[in-house]
């Protein structure tokens, strides 16, 4: 027996194993063949971000000047987060989206931990990091989409079974809904429920099972409303949705001022920067009701341009998702697109008075660093899916 030869062979095998291990660890960061990103999607997102920054500057400067002694505080802060988010989107777009499989459960665990932690803070929705605030609900929405996309891609053939397609997702969603309702954060609760229902339906769950799940969720939410302090919160919002003019100097003030802003905009608007309601009439116009300022300054025409841009983003997001040859890519792209479209739809519904005021922000427009950075990162994931789809077709 050639002991020396055998030893040499063992060293070679060992060396190959070590190399494969290191290559596996570094596989995420290695440069791979990449296709080009979807240019129409890039242009749509860029347009929304730019218009959002311009409108934020216009909507926020009176409030910022009066309360913060710096007319540009909100704008410069949002601009910084826009740069961070754009940078994150660029790097994430070059990151193989398949690797999000690996972090689905850890990401969900982090989201739960942050949602629990925020319950012990004074603000109940934000974690104060010193230099900025973090909103865990934004991370929770993303974590839920990644988890459900991963779960469906792994169990697609058995999604029609109750024990597979119903019980585990319901447990995950129920825990998240419970934590969100304890804040309380009704708008995010509605969003995560609708997102989950849409993803599960597209993922192949039996519609009868899904209907039962909807009833279970509705009963759970009803119990939370009836047996916790959420009932007073919800009743107040609903009461002033039906008749905001019944307390025009109180809880109905924001909705009424929003309707005044929309009505005074007319067809062509008052002109960029010429809103009247932003001058301390509409409370915090840089946040959830920024679309009212869009309507007042840019009019019906400008508002329709913004709505059409969101519609185009949803359409292009679905196109990119459906072009993916992997089920995980399809589900992830669809879930992320649904989130943006749903949030925009609900925000516009609230601002125009069609829905009760639940604190839903307008993507890319409303002030908020966590929201903007997370949104841009998610847009980067959709672009990563578009890159991979182009390679898979060649």
> What's the pLDDT at 221?
64
Question: Is 375 within 8 Å of 85 (Cβ atoms)?
Answer: yes
> What's the pLDDT at 346?
94
Q: Which of 8-17, 88-97, 133-142, 232-241 has the lowest mean pLDDT?
A: 8-17
pLDDT tens-digit readout, 174-223: 899 889 988 878 889 889 999 998 999 898 888 777 777 777 767 766 66
> What's the pLDDT at 84?
96
Instruction: Report the pLDDT averaged over residues 114-120.
Output: 91
Query: Would the pLDDT of 5 be above 50?
Result: no
Model pTM? 0.86
Euclidean distance between CA atoms 188 and 206, whole angstroms: 25
Euclidean distance between CA atoms 22 and 111, whole angstroms: 29
The residue ranking higher by pLDDT, 246 or 32, is 246
Write down the residue that tokens 């302090």 correspond to: 229
Q: Can you state the percent helix, strand and coil of the chain, rounding each to 5? A: 75, 0, 25
Query: Would the pLDDT of 392 be above 70?
Result: no
> What's the pLDDT at 227?
57
| DSSP-derived 3-state class of residue 127 | strand
Question: 61 to each of 50, 65, 217, 354, how far by Cα in Å?
Answer: 17, 6, 42, 28
Q: Could you tell me where the beta strands, DSSP code E, fall in the chain?
A: 127-128, 133-134
Percent of the chain with pLDDT over 90: 56
Query: Would the pLDDT of 381 be above 80?
Result: yes
Helices within 278-326 (DSSP H only): 290-323
Query: Would the pLDDT of 356 be above 50?
Result: yes
pLDDT tens-digit readout, 329-339: 999 999 999 99
How many other C-beta atoms can be found within 10 angstroms of the C-beta atom of residue 308?
A: 11
Question: 226 to each of 220, 276, 385, how far by Cα in Å?
Answer: 10, 40, 43
The residue ranking higher by pLDDT, 256 or 276, is 276
Instruction: Report the pLDDT averaged over residues 133-151.
Output: 94
Question: Is 316 within 8 Å of 44 (Cβ atoms)?
Answer: yes
> What's the pLDDT at 161?
85
Euclidean distance between CA atoms 117 and 125, whole angstroms: 10
pLDDT tens-digit readout, 219-245: 766 666 555 555 555 556 665 666 676
Average pLDDT over the chain reads: 84
């Amino acid at each position: 027996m050639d002991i020396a030869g055998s030893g040499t062979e063992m060293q070679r095998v060992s060396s190959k194993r070590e190399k494969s291990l290191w290559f596996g660890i570094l596989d995420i960061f290695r440069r791979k063949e990449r296709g080009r990103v979807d240019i129409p999607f890039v242009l749509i997102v860029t347009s929304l971000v730019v218009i959002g920054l311009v409108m934020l500057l216009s909507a926020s400067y009176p409030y910022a000047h009066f309360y913060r002694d710096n007319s540009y505080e909100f704008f410069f802060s949002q601009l910084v987060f826009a740069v961070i988010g754009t940078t994150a989107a660029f790097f994430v777009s070059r990151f193989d989206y398949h690797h999000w499989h690996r972090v689905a459960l850890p990401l969900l665990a982090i989201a739960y931990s942050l949602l629990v932690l925020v319950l012990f803070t004074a603000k109940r929705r934000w974690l104060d990091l010193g230099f900025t605030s973090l909103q865990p609900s934004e991370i929770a929405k993303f974590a839920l989409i990644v988890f459900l996309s991963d779960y469906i891609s792994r169990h697609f053939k058995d999604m029609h079974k109750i024990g597979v397609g119903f019980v585990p997702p319901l447990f995950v969603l129920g825990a998240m809904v419970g934590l969100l309702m304890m804040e309380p954060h009704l708008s995010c609760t509605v969003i995560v429920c609708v997102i989950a229902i849409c993803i599960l339906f597209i993922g192949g769950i039996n519609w009868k099972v899904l209907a039962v799940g909807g009833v279970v969720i509705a009963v759970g939410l009803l119990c939370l409303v009836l047996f916790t302090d959420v009932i007073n919160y919800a009743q107040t919002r609903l009461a002033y949705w039906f008749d905001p003019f019944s307390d025009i100097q109180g809880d109905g003030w924001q909705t009424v001022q929003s309707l005044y802003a929309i009505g005074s905009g007319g067809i062509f608007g008052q002109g960029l920067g010429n809103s009247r309601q932003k001058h301390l009439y509409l409370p915090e116009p840089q946040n959830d009701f920024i679309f009212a300022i869009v309507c007042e300054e840019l009019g019906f025409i400008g508002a329709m341009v913004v709505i059409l841009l969101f519609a185009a983003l949803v359409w292009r997001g679905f196109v990119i998702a459906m072009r993916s040859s992997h089920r995980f890519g399809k589900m992830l792209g669809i879930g992320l697109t649904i989130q943006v479209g749903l949030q925009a739809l609900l925000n516009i519904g609230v601002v125009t008075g069609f829905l009760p005021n639940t604190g839903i922000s307008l993507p890319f427009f409303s002030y908020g660093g966590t929201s903007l950075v997370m949104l841009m990162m998610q847009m980067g994931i959709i672009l990563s899916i578009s890159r991979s789809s182009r390679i898979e077709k060649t």
